[in-house]
Amino acid sequence: MQEPTARPTRILTPSLALAASLLAMPAMAAKTDVIVLVNGDHITGEVKNLSYGQLKFKTDHMGTVYIEWDKIASVSTDQVLQVETTDGRRYEGRSPQPAPQAETLRLVPIGGGSGGPAIDLPMDSIVRVAYLEQGSFLERLDGAVSVGYSYTQATQIEQLNVSGNVGTRNRKRMWNIALDTNTSSQSDGPSSRRASLSGSFEKFMANRYYYESTLNFTRNDELGLDLRSLLSVTAGRYLVQGQGREWRVGAGLAVSNEDRSDGTSVESIELPVTSSFRMFRLDSPKTDVTLELTVLPSLTESGRVRGEATIKARHEIVSDLFFEISLYDSYDNRAPEGSPSNDWNVVTSLGYSF
In the chain the first and final C-alpha atoms are separated, in Å, by: 65
pLDDT in tens, 182-220: 998 887 777 889 999 999 999 988 888 999 999 999 999
When pLDDT is averaged across residues 126-135 and rounded to a whole number, the result is: 68
Enclosing domain of residue 51:
29-131
Whole-angstrom Cα distance, residue 167 to residue 232? 19
Q: Which of 273, 284, 272 is nearest to 321 (CA)?
A: 284
What is the domain count for the chain?
Answer: 2
Q: What is the pLDDT of residue 253?
A: 98
Q: What is the pLDDT of residues 211-257, one digit of tens each?
A: 999 999 999 998 899 999 999 999 999 998 776 788 999 999 999 99
Query: What contacts 45, CB < 8 A, 6 or more positions away?
Result: 31, 33, 35, 57, 58, 59, 60, 65
Domain co-membership, 206 together with 310: yes
- Model confidence pLDDT, tens digit, residues 75-122: 888 888 878 887 778 788 888 888 888 788 888 887 544 445 788 888
Question: Is the pLDDT score of 4 beyond 70?
Answer: no
Same domain, 39 and 60: yes
Residues 216 and 239 in one domain: yes
* Pair 116, 86 in one domain: yes
CA distance 350 to 160: 12
115 contact partners, CB below 8 Å, separation of at least 6: none
Q: What is the average pLDDT score of the chain?
A: 83
Under a CB-based contact definition with an 8 Å cutoff, are residues 12 and 21 in contact? no
pLDDT of residue 86: 79
**pLDDT score recorded for residue 185:** 87
Question: Taking the model in full, what pTM does it have?
Answer: 0.71
Task: Map residue 222 onto helix, strand or coil.
Answer: helix
Domain boundary among 97, 131, 165: 131
Give the torsion through C-alpha atoms of 306, 308, 309, 310, to 10 deg. Answer: 170
Residue 10 lies in a domain: no
Shared-domain flag, residues 150 and 212: yes
